[in-house]
Structure 1
């Protein structure tokens, strides 16, 4: 299923933003996430957002999506859309970095756990050897 982002001015005020659930006012900038379907399986699905309500742009398997019809906007509005997209991309990269840090901390935690378990196992072996030698000393004393 192909996906892309469609940008444009709202043609009427009948479409609702999927984030805030408020109507998008006529002639406001709207951003649509379009999911295309193969021929014969119905219409394409468009999910519309206000420019300020858009929080993430993710395609299938977290790939970036193409932005369509951006040249139909006024120059100032094109800049707003580009700034918003750049801001979203930066925040998504920061989230990915945070996830990696969390993963590394879990990995370090696991390594510490394994180290502690090895130390406990080693200490247990030392105790067993000490008990064995104590028993040997006791049996030597008895002879």
Structure 2
């Protein structure tokens, strides 16, 4: 009789563990996997890349986008001026906004991609693959 109770208790414990594992795997959002922005959300949208050209600021961060697809970025909070800025190239395809940052020491290229969510004469807003939004105001 005691063995039956032990086996029954172990069986219930295994069922509870299996149910917990299914819940954790299925329903818990994984921190290491960013939310995917589905491409069809952006298929109908298209931005005018000419509106991006110029100097943009968000807090102490500055981005200068040139007409030839090159750019500069610097953080005034770190006492960096435009002459000391990091160089990058940029492209826009519909709403996909790509920055290719060149590392100074190793000449490695670091790609960063964003989806433009708003672009006007005075405002540039975009979102990265992790859902982080940046909003810039045009300086010049």
Same fold per TM (> 0.5)? no
**Greater share of strand:** 2
Which structure's CA Rg is the greater one? 1
- The normalised TM-score by structure 2 is 0.27
**Greater share of helix:** 1
